[in-house]
Structure 1
Amino acid sequence: MSRSRETNPHFHPPQELDDGIILHFPPQQSRRHRDPPQPQPQPSLTPHSPRPGQPHHQTPRRHTTRFQPPDSPSRHSPTPRGQPEPHPNSFPRHTQPVRGPGPHSPGHNGRPGQSQQQQSSALRVPSPQKTRTYTWLIGVACALLWIAVFLGGLVVLIVYVLFRPRSPKFEVSNASLNAAYLDMGYLLNADMTLLANFTNPSKKATVDFSTVVIQLYYGNTLIATSYIDPFSEMKAEYKIKAVHLISSQVWLRSAESQRLKQQMNDNKIIFEVKGLLRTRSSLGTFFRYSYWLYGHCKIAVTGPPSGILVAKRCKTKR
């Protein structure tokens, strides 16, 4: 059967796709007189009659249509029957504007403005609370304590600048070695008399000595100890106290015993005298302060029985 060429420009013959599927397209009207799209039945698919020698079967429909903007040159391309043409002002799927959750979206709770109320309640500043009474009391007590400490330090500084108190001094004025010998070569027996001088150099403060301990050492070994009764000194006054020190059967190390024998032969024996003093200075009636003093003297005496002081070096520190 011969096919005549269609001269109607709005008529498009059915197109044959792969696998023997023929699509029928309705005649396309001009854009100016085009009616709004209406729902139409699905396009009928007429399978192509099988050729001689081929099995008769129906293949699934494969149809791909690309969307082209209305202003493109191929805007008059045929559209499959049953599918509405895209609106000229519509956006492609990949360029659709993103909108927020609508009134029926899962993220919307159905009440306009409720999410804004929740955010405003979450950012609400808590109302100020009244400070409790015990908090004020603790703050006032701390402030008073710091003020008292500051005033106390200021008073001490003023007193020190005005009176310039000086610490008492301890020294050995004279010493006499009455006896000294080694029993069995390492046991020391000694008898010494000291004249200890306690001086108050301050002209504005009196000093009270409540505890006075005098210790006698030979090398690093303590060989005798004596105590002095408490006493006081006025301004710029000094007092001398006699101290009797006796050691009996004091064990000395081998090196110390050998050194003592050598010093006796040289007629110059070296001892150390240490004083531990607990004193209190009084500046007037109300201002008094106590402290410890540590005196240290290194003396050299001649051999017994008439050993006399030949050298000394003393210092006192707090």
Structure 2
Amino acid sequence: MGTPYYLQSPRTIMMKVMKNMKHQPPALPPPAPSKIILKPRHRTSPAMWCAAIVCFAFSITLIIAGVAILIVFLAIKPRPPAFDAVNASLNSVYVDSPAYFNGDMTFVANISNPNQKIDMVFRSAVVELLFRDRPMAAQALPPFLQRRGQYQVLNVHMVASRVLLPPEVAMELVNQVRSNRVVYTIRGKFHVEARFWFGHYTYWMYTVCELELTAPPSGVLVARRCRTK
């Protein structure tokens, strides 16, 4: 057993401490601070700036155009022309063998322009006569101008000659003539140009009229229903 620690001389104690320090492992150096690697920033190319400016200008133009169209629409309040078959006469209906149809009908069409700030130009118009969705006759109308708030009365003569019908359709037509009630359909297609102030626009107008007439040779109009789109 060695000499107690408190009885040893200071020199001996110092020598032991230095000896113990020699046997200790060397201290590790402190870890180096981590570095955050940032990617280099790429500058926006002039082409991208030009594309963005063009897109922005185009968007602004669309917004301005939409607002202008809305203002014009609210100012003029456009309405489509109205089509009505005010009168009609059924002159003849004849079905011969084998189911060939011959017919003659005249109707009076009233086309009115309800707009107070728009003139209507009917560039082209075709009117068809149908029975049970079967075309019987067609008539092209000449172009005409219709001023704002005015109406136009047209006499349309529809003549059908040897139109072949399915047997069941021909039989139904014969039965309607015998019962003194013949139902025809008038279908119209109009290419309309609307003129207002400093501009114009065009569109197609479609009309359908269901006409109920008495039997020929002096058939008269007893009921009608017209719609326009």
Alignment TM-score > 0.5, same fold: yes
SS in 2 for 1:235: coil
* Residue matched to 2:224: 312
Asked if the contact 1:179–1:304 (Cα under 8 Å) also holds between the matched residues in 2, the reply is: yes
Residue 129 (structure 1) aligns with: 43
Question: Any gaps of 5 or more consecutive residues in structure 2?
Answer: 4-19
* Partner amino acid, structure 1, of 2:215: G
Report sequence identity in percent. 30
CA drift of 1:217 comes to 0.5
Q: Deviations over 1:112-146 (max 9, x none)?
A: 96x95xx54xx2231332422x2222222222222
Of the three residues 129, 132, 140, the one matched with 1:216 is 129
SS in 2 for 1:271: strand
Q: Secondary structure at the match of 2:65?
A: helix
1:168 Cα shift? 0.5
In the alignment, residue 148 of structure 1 is paired with which amino acid? T
2:213 match: 301
SS in 2 for 1:305: coil
Partner of 1:276: 189
CA distance in 2, matches of 1:144, 1:210: 37
How far did residue 253 of structure 1 move?
Answer: 2.0
Aligned to 1:289: 201
Q: What aligned pairs does 1:63-102 form with structure 2 within 5 A after superposition? A: none
User: Does residue 204 of structure 1 match 2:95?
Assistant: no
Shift of 1:185: 4.9
The structural deviation recorded for 1:292 is 1.5
The AA in structure 2 aligned to 1:307 is G
Partner residue, 1:154: 67
**Residue of 161, 177, 196 corresponding to 2:90:** 177
List aligned pairs for 1:217-232, cutoff 5 A.
217-232=130-145
Q: 1:269 to 1:183 in 2, by over 3 A?
A: same
Greater strand content? 2
Structure having greater relative contact order (Cα 8 Å, sep ≥ 6): 2
Find the aligned partners of 1:263 and 1:130 in 2 and give their Cα distance: 79
Mapped contact 1:170–1:275 kept (Cα < 8 A) = no
Contact in 2 for aligned 1:302/1:309 (Cα 8 Å): yes
Does structure 2 conserve the Cα–Cα contact (< 8 Å) formed by 1:202 and 1:236?
A: yes
Secondary structure of the residue aligned to 2:59 is helix
Secondary structure of the residue aligned to 1:179 is strand
Q: Is the 8 A contact 1:216 1:224 kept in 2?
A: yes
Q: How many residues align?
A: 209
User: Partner amino acid for 1:302?
Assistant: T
Matching residue of 2:10: none
Larger Rg: 1
- Residues 185 and 257 in structure 1, CA contact (< 8 A), matched pair in contact too: no
Would you tell me which structure has more helix in proportion to its own residues?
2
Contact residue 188 and residue 249 of structure 1 kept, 8 A: yes
Alignment match, 2:180:
267
| RMSD of aligned residue pairs (Cα, Å) | 2.5
TM-score, normalised to structure 1's length?
Answer: 0.60
Aligned pair partner of 1:247 in 157, 160, 167: 160
SS state at 2:66 partner: helix
Match of 2:6 in 1: none
With normalisation by structure 2, the TM-score equals 0.82
Shift of 1:176: 1.8
Q: What corresponds to 1:144 in structure 2? A: 57
Report the AA paired with residue 232 of structure 1. L
